[in-house]
Structure 1
Amino acid sequence: MKSNYVISCCSTADLAEDHFKKCDIAYIYFHYELDGKEYADDLGKSVSFSDFYEAMRNGAETKTSQVNAMEFENYFEDFLRQGKDILHVCFSSGLSGVVNSANIAKEVLQEKYPERKIYIVDSLGASSGYGLIMDKLSELRETGMDIEALYAWVEQHKLEMHHWFFSTDLSFYVKGGRISKTSGFVGGILGICPLLNMDSGGHLVPRKKYKGKKKVIEAIVECMEKHAVDGTSYADKCYISQSDCYEDASKVAKLVESKFPNLKGKVEINNVGTTVGSHTGPGTVALFFWGDARND
């Protein structure tokens, strides 16, 4: 169904390019540096995900930068010139200031195009959880929902998207200052895997530590059993994203599929993109599903 508005997000929603196209979701690139060379976070086209994470394992330095206001202005204006309204959902304000850049561009463009509507949403989400929100918006648009109703829906329901993460490689958490060198060293020796989730402010928060991958894989699926809509009768989509650890992600997916027989399709496994991955490093698995409202 053709609509008179665009749904849009940042590349940090971590869906594959063909998924964005199939769902008619527009997106704008973040940026990252790999050993001083700048690239667009272009869904693994400039640098493949496997090459990117291998470079990180070999000590490459990474740095990220958000979309600036001028980039948003140019990006949005292409749609406005076509007579389209815009609903843009931003990467979490708990992890980036990109929503501020989008709002600055909105203010400039609304003076220039007073007849057009521009809605900016802080997703309070990241990676393919943010992507799963966009997927839902695409589905709702296909039912004929107008832009005002869709904006109200996402603001009401965005905190019902659960984000649970675990990491099997603590070295990048040490490097980023998220855990101490001592904790990282001891955790590495003992095979400690921290389990984190995203709170209501869109921040990543450590929740518990598990010894060994088997236990943390069981624990992350137990979180879904506890929080998913209708528990193990959950009948919506479930996404996973992974940073060069597909085997671990596949184990989570198989366990989810065995415990949730009414899933809407198979669990979809995506890549943690180069922006988010610059901070997590390789070895991270994230599980996303619709559930009860996130709280702290």
Structure 2
Amino acid sequence: MQSLWEQKREDGGIMAAYGLSCCSTVDLSRQWAEDRDVKLAYFHFFLGEKEYLDDFYESIRPEELYQRMLAGEMTRTSQVNVEEYKALFRSVLSKGRDLLHITLSSGISGSINSARIAAEEMREEFPERKVYVLDSLNASSGYGLLVDRAADLRDAGMGIEELYEELQRLVARQQSWFFTSDLTFFIRGGRVSKAAGWIGSLLNICPLLRVAEDGSLKAVEKVRGKKRVMDRILQKMEELCKDGRDYSDKCFISHSDCREDAELLRVELRKRFPKLKTAEIFPIGSTIGCHTGPGTVALFFFGRE
């Protein structure tokens, strides 16, 4: 079966002859990647002494991961290394296609450095091919939302250079907001002090955070109760998204083992934004989940230009 970029468009033109790739930390699904013809590089993580692939929970179920984390097992994550990137890039370039790779935010991972080294080596190995590496400045399905849009534009016939430039503009428009109802792993990670965490848990405080312009995580405010923090996120979206309550683009929602909270947010989202194109829900992947623990919900959308 031909890939999407080899098929003819309805107007008789030919899809752009280049590939797209990203990391498994887009937190969507392997089926999504296959359907969109997006190649994947896989992060790794350790739970106790055992190493796993961050492979959309095919190696370990999220319930088991979080239960073992709550029981005290330590986790650590491992980014894609240069050799893994080279193997991925070579699989596309060797077929005569150029490549655009989109990375996890440089604000939370150094994976882009390995990708850039691999890209430079591939340019020497395939001097006739072009390799672009783009920093998503985002994570989880917010990163996935950007790659999904990249696939839309590629499949509509946009060339690789034009797509690279358009994605840089889209990166600046990304909005990523999230909250947690369980402070345990924010305390362990040092993002919340033990004293503040104890008081926050006692008062049912849900910190509201966002991904900042540099791709790092920033605390915004403390909100008491999940209902109020969800309403605050929707207020932020109304303030920041294109067309306000008439927003008609996609949203993605991510959660770490709290699907009911994600579903509730989606219900309220659709009430407030009736023209919304779609609001898909995805589990936060194991790499990001190792840092958030359970109880985190995130909302991703595109802001105004």
TM-score band, normalised by shorter chain = over 0.9
Write out aligned runs for 1:140-289 (5 A). Answer: 140-265=153-278, 267-289=279-301
Write out aligned runs for 1:128-147 (5 A). Answer: 128-147=141-160
Aligned match for 2:41, one of 5, 9, 28? 28
> How many Å separate the matches in 2 of 1:57 and 1:234?
38
> How many Å separate the matches in 1 of 2:190 and 2:241?
32
> How many Å separate the matches in 2 of 1:230 and 1:21?
32
For the pair 1:48 / 2:61, whether they are aligned, the reply is yes
For the pair 1:94 / 2:135, whether they are aligned, the reply is no
- Deviation, 1:292, is 2.8
Correspondence for 2:9? none
How many residue pairs were aligned? 292
What secondary structure is seen at the aligned counterpart in 1 of 2:250?
coil
> How many Å separate the matches in 2 of 1:204 and 1:50?
25
**8 Å CA contact 2:39, 2:88 repeated in 1:** no
- Deviation, 1:15, is 0.4
Gaps of 5+ in 1: none
What secondary structure is seen at the aligned counterpart in 2 of 1:238?
strand
Correspondence for 2:303? 291
What secondary structure is seen at the aligned counterpart in 1 of 2:267?
helix
> How many Å separate the matches in 2 of 1:28 and 1:11?
6
Segments of 4+ moved more than 2 angstroms = none
**8 Å CA contact 2:146, 2:170 repeated in 1:** no
Aligned match for 2:135, one of 105, 117, 122? 122
What secondary structure is seen at the aligned counterpart in 1 of 2:228?
helix
- Deviation, 1:52, is 1.3
Supply the AA of the counterpart residue of 1:292.
Answer: R
Correspondence for 2:86? 73
Supply the AA of the counterpart residue of 2:178.
Answer: F
> How many Å separate the matches in 2 of 1:30 and 1:62?
13
TM-score (norm 1): 0.97
TM-score (norm 2): 0.94
Matched residues, percent identical?
Answer: 46
- Deviation, 1:27, is 1.1
Correspondence for 2:73? 60
Supply the AA of the counterpart residue of 1:217.
Answer: M
> How many Å separate the matches in 2 of 1:272 and 1:39?
16
CA offsets 1:267-290 (integer angstroms, 9 cap, x no match): 100010000000011000000001
Aligned match for 1:104, one of 97, 101, 117? 117
- Deviation, 1:143, is 1.0
> How many Å separate the matches in 2 of 1:243 and 1:171?
13
> How many Å separate the matches in 2 of 1:17 and 1:228?
29
